[in-house]
Structure 1
């Protein structure tokens, strides 16, 4: 699957799912003073950005140490994205744990895993190892994704009131459907590359 700058950005936005995470984000900040919330948003988005950048830059070295191939990572990434997509389409009960937070959230659960979750880490690692010569494009796609996430979280209250619960659920399931197709494409690409390598 050839990945352009635009498709990489869209993929990362779908995976980080800022719109779908608004209810959990609002719940996580319930006990934070209103004047502190903007600072918390900036801090958590910055931490998530640094975490994902780290995976992007040191992903190739990690694969070499673990003796993992590009094909195995593509298949694993496809499986992870597929599972994430299924959760977006068929959300289960008790999947949100923000109500257990006491005080101001720090790193967990907003930065990790809400924004920089396993699927996002696997995706940036996959992009950087498959085409390292396009690193500037991947950094740009990640930066744009984090800016979108930042804006969505800054205006989360207004967006939630404007769209309502039903519209947000419908949007999340639509994004899950798109992500399902992307995950299947990634999985098939990994399997095809492995078969070609054997042949």
Structure 2
């Protein structure tokens, strides 16, 4: 499956799921003073951006060191995305944010894993290993994704009041449905490439 710049951008936005993460984000910032929240949001988004850039540019070398093939990464990425999509469609009661957040969050849990989670890391790894010649495009797609996430999180309070939790939950399920189709496509592509290599 050919991945365009815009399809990569949409995929990354779906995976980071800023709209669906609004309630968790607000919970994580409950203990932060209102005047500091903007600074915390910008800091955490920058940290997540830096982590994903590291995976984008240096993850390929790690895979080579571990002697992992592109096909295995595509299958693994498809499985991870499928599990994330199922969780978006059928959210459980328990989450990493269900407990009380003590003080100001730093790196965990907002930057990692709320924004730069395992699925986002696997996706940027997949993009960089499949088509390393297009790193400038993948960097641009990641930059747009992080700008969208930052904007949504900065306006999270207003968006939650404006849309309401039922609308946010419905949007998350819709994004989960789209992500399910993408994950199946990725999984089938990895299996097909592996079978072709065997043949």
Report the TM range for the smaller structure's normalisation: over 0.9
Determine the structure 2 residue equivalent to 1:18: 18
4+ aligned runs moved over 4 Å, structure 1: none
Does structure 2 retain, via aligned residues, the 8 Å contact 1:28–1:99?
A: no
The CA deviation string for residues 95-143 of structure 1, in whole angstroms up to 9 with x for no partner, is 2425431000000000000000000000000000110000000000000
Q: 1:11 to 1:3 in 2, by over 3 A?
A: same
Determine the structure 1 residue equivalent to 2:84: 84
Mind listing any 5+ residue stretches in structure 2 that lack a counterpart? Answer: none
Aligned length: 199
Determine the structure 1 residue equivalent to 2:120: 120
Determine the structure 2 residue equivalent to 1:147: 147
Q: CA RMSD in A?
A: 0.7
Determine the structure 1 residue equivalent to 2:55: 55
Q: Secondary structure at the match of 1:42?
A: helix
Determine the structure 1 residue equivalent to 2:66: 66
**Separation of aligned partners in 2, 1:115 and 1:23:** 14
**Separation of aligned partners in 2, 1:177 and 1:150:** 24
Q: What TM-score results when the alignment is normalised by the length of structure 1?
A: 0.99
Does structure 1 retain, via aligned residues, the 8 Å contact 2:27–2:97?
A: no
**Separation of aligned partners in 1, 2:95 and 2:28:** 14
**Separation of aligned partners in 2, 1:42 and 1:165:** 24
**Separation of aligned partners in 2, 1:150 and 1:62:** 29
Q: What TM-score results when the alignment is normalised by the length of structure 2?
A: 0.99
